Amino acid sequence: MKTKTSLLPKEGEAQPSRCPDNSAFKQQRLPAWKPQLTIASVLSCFFLTGAFCLTVGVCLVLAANSVREIQIDYSDKCSDCSKFRENSSNWNKECHCSVNFTLQEDILGDVFMYYGLQNFYQNHRRYMMSRSNAQLLGRNVKIQRSSCAPFSTYRNGTPMAPCGAIANSMFNDTIDLFYSRNSSVIQVPLLKTGNSWWTDKNVKFRNPESYNLSSAFAGTARPPYWHKPAYLLDEEDERNNGFVNDDFIIWMRVSAFATFRNLYRRLRRVRHFAEGLPAGNYTFRISYNFPVSRFKGRKHVILSTVVWSGGSNPFLGIAYLVSGTAATLAGFVITGIHLKLRKKKTYFQKQ
């Protein structure tokens, strides 16, 4: 008969030690740098951090304030076209409006044109997921099963290209700028390409491989709210069509906030506009296609310059100023506490 051996130590036997080996590594005796937090080192860190943040904040705020910018809200000025677009039967008809404004001073340097939307929420999860990266990479244009639903196929089974709610809601107003000079009207030359990120243009978005772009999109249909198919987005430049169209790429990068702006055009600095936009009378001629009244939105067009820190956004500079002020005040508070405790210690030592 087999007997079970006990794992417990017998009486009189020494129990095995569970202490780690007596080595420098296991006993944590390896040489290491141990910072000594003296009052001088702590205060110097606070004051140096505060001085650095305050300096950077002042530079950022001054740079943001040096940006020249003009913003025009054309929602009310194009109210007739807005009402016209609310009727779905007018989707294939054009509606134009004009907005006049005056530049009191020259805007020198590179000038960028943006369109701005207010109260348009792109940060909804279902909206952000409503796209097909495989289709946008040109791998499968006729994709049917994807996260694009309900903007993936039509009722007859024809797939949409591009599919998804983001692509379907693409901003499609056409904005042209004209300059009045010596009783003549000159159209301001604007650049349509070169406005998107290089990684988006060359990595994240690709047209399907085919000898002809229209044949590559054969068997598909444009999204319901689009006036043109994807291969005709830019009839003047064949390289700016399909999934690599700059306006389309910029729109597909959704915004985190309900009020945002996207880059639309850049000034082409030639002839009268070699130095920038001269002072004078200008006119925006807008082909109104993007209705906003149903969701109580607003539309803007912005002309702006940029500086080394970006556009006219002082938020980062203000954040640095707040951080620097907080660090500096904390340094003064710690200094006051230290002096008060040192006086008490000196007093008790004398007693």
Cβ-based burial of 296 (10 A; exposed 0-12, middle 13-18, buried ≥19): exposed
- Partnered with residue 190 across adjacent β-strands are 267
Domain boundaries along the sequence of the chain:
67-315
Closest CA to 53 of 335, 307, 317, 333: 317
Q: Which residue in the block uniquely carries the two structure tokens 């707040």?
A: 322
β-strand pairing of 69-73 with 190-191:
unpaired
d(CA 193, CA 263): 11
pLDDT of amino acid 4: 53
CA angle 172, 194, 255 (to 5 degrees): 50
pLDDT of amino acid 178: 96
d(CA 154, CA 207): 22
Q: Could you tell me where the beta strands, DSSP code E, fall in the chain? A: 69-73, 96-103, 107-108, 112-118, 174-181, 184-187, 190-191, 260-267, 276-277, 280-287, 298-304
SS3 83: helix
Q: Which residue in the block uniquely carries the two structure tokens 């820190």?
A: 309
pLDDT of amino acid 247: 96
Ramachandran angles phi, psi of 50, nearest 5°: -65, -45
**DSSP class per residue in 291-316:** --GGGT-EEEEEEE--BTTBSS--HH
Residue environment code for 146-164, b if the CB has 16+ CB neighbours within 10 A, otherwise e:
bebeebbbeeeeebbbbbb
Structure tokens at 245: 């169209």
Give the contacts of 124 (CB within 8 A, at least 6 positions apart): none
d(CA 44, CA 34): 18
pLDDT in tens, the chain (351 residues): 555 555 555 666 666 778 888 888 888 888 888 778 888 889 999 999 999 999 999 999 999 999 999 999 999 999 899 888 888 788 788 899 999 999 999 999 999 999 999 999 999 999 999 999 999 999 888 887 778 988 999 999 899 999 999 999 999 999 999 999 888 999 999 999 999 999 999 999 999 988 889 999 998 999 999 989 999 999 889 899 999 999 999 999 999 999 999 999 999 999 899 999 999 999 999 999 999 988 899 999 999 999 888 888 899 999 999 999 999 999 999 999 988 888 776 756 666
pLDDT of amino acid 90: 80
- Neighbour count for residue 305 (Cβ, 10 Å): 19
pLDDT of amino acid 120: 95
Long-range contacts of 76-79 (CB under 8 A, 24+ apart): 78/286, 78/288
